[in-house]
Structure 1
Amino acid sequence: MDHFSEAPIPRFPSPLARALRFMPLAPVSLALTRLTRNMATRHASMFRRLGEHADARFLLDPTDLPVTLCLEPMQGRPKITLYRSPPQADARIAGPLAALIGLVHGAYDGDALFFSRDLVIEGDTAAALALRNAVDDAELDIATEIENLSGPFARPLHKLIELAERRTGVALTRHEEDLLW
């Protein structure tokens, strides 16, 4: 068992979440789309693995934030759009931001989160399961993907991410020793 699954799931600080209500969503959507497309290039099989769900719309709903993210795989040219009010989607995956990020990094067991009700899945559960399997197989590390786009700022950014992970308890990187397999 890893140190992330033993501790309570961290929640995004309420004052920061309230401040996000005023954040312009378009620039963040563009940045997340660029990051996701870079990941699709580096992990091409990830979106192919969605199979019949390659055109599904996934609503990622961090319940401790005032925004939702809509992921559209678009046959390997993914797009992420942030919304203040959730749009229609084929599947909704909801939980604290730390849990959603931790699922990507393998720090949390999705089944355990689901049965403890820390994670809610609605809509097309087969599509949600296909997404989960595709992400699991890709063994993503979001921090590394961001660092790859950061050019000369990659090294200081890496140090900042390590510090943020230690301070917040959120699995911001993939730790092979933490995987629950």
Structure 2
Amino acid sequence: MFGHAPEIPVFPSPLTAPLRLAPLAPMGLALTLIARRLIARHPGLIARLGDYGDARFAIDPTDLPLTLLMHPHPTHTRITLHRRPPEADARIAGPLAGLLGLVHGAYDGDALFFSRDLVIEGDTSAALALRNAIDDAELDLGAEIAGLSGPLRAVLSPLIAAAGRVTGVALTRVEGGMA
């Protein structure tokens, strides 16, 4: 019925130390700008959320010392970072590699959920609407971020792809199926 959940890489704890000390506001602003660019390039994302277009989603990478609070909007999407999971309509939690793998089509969300690698709390209908919107958009966050780098794109794109191969983390869209 559901695919087997793969072994998901976990972000090494020593590498998270800088995130414990880093100021959250500048990182949140950068993520907000990236999210707004994504929505401008994929306007169907917000429309696909339907009744949940104004929901607040806590995205909680459990192997990082921060949580993203995403409030989607056609023109005013906002992402803020928090040290603890903030109040939200839906919370989606799992290892960063699992969350990125869901976005990039590398992992079967049902398999991750039933294996408890992915936890959904709050309004599960809102979380499902977000998942469906992201699936339909076929996002490639690596390509989007490389696209922001202007002339450095030619260098950054292969570096992102190589980092994905070395770490086993889906940093770009996976063509042809899920793990």
TM-score of the superposition, structure 2-length normalised? 0.94
In the alignment, the residues of structure 2 paired with residue 6 and residue 74 of structure 1 have an alpha-carbon distance, to the nearest angstrom, of 32
In the alignment, the residues of structure 2 paired with residue 93 and residue 135 of structure 1 have an alpha-carbon distance, to the nearest angstrom, of 14
Q: CA separation of 1:123/1:114 partners in 2, compared to 1, >3 Å: closer, same or farther?
A: same
Shift of 1:18: 2.4
Aligned to 1:164: 163
Shift of 1:157: 0.7
Shift of 1:166: 1.3
**Do residues 132 (structure 1) and 131 (structure 2) align?**
yes
Aligned to 2:68: 69
Shift of 1:6: 7.0
Aligned to 1:95: 94
Shift of 1:107: 0.2
Q: Residues 35-56 of structure 1, C-alpha deviation per residue, up to 9 Å, x if partnerless?
A: 1100001100111110110110
Q: Residues 131-150 of structure 1, C-alpha deviation per residue, up to 9 Å, x if partnerless?
A: 00000000000011111111
TM-score of the superposition, structure 1-length normalised? 0.93
What's the Cα RMSD here?
1.4
8 Å Cα contact 1:40/1:77 also seen in 2: no
Shift of 1:17: 1.3
Shift of 1:172: 0.4
Q: CA separation of 1:12/1:19 partners in 2, compared to 1, >3 Å: closer, same or farther?
A: same
Aligned to 2:59: 60
**Do residues 79 (structure 1) and 78 (structure 2) align?**
yes
Which stretches in structure 1 are left out of the alignment for 5+ residues? none
Shift of 1:7: 4.7
Match of 2:21, SS state, is: coil
Match of 1:122, SS state, is: strand
8 Å Cα contact 1:104/1:135 also seen in 2: yes
Which stretches in structure 2 are left out of the alignment for 5+ residues? none
Instruction: Name whichever of 47-56 and 76-85 sits farther off.
Output: 76-85
Match of 1:118, SS state, is: coil
Q: Residues 83-139 of structure 1, C-alpha deviation per residue, up to 9 Å, x if partnerless?
A: 112210000000000000000000000000000000000000000000000000000
- Counterpart of 1:60, as a letter, is I
Aligned to 1:21: 20
In the alignment, the residues of structure 2 paired with residue 175 and residue 56 of structure 1 have an alpha-carbon distance, to the nearest angstrom, of 28
Seq. identity, %: 62
- The 4+ residue runs of structure 1 with deviation greater than 4 A are none
Match of 2:60, SS state, is: strand
Match of 2:176, SS state, is: helix
- Counterpart of 2:162, as a letter, is L
8 Å Cα contact 1:55/1:75 also seen in 2: no
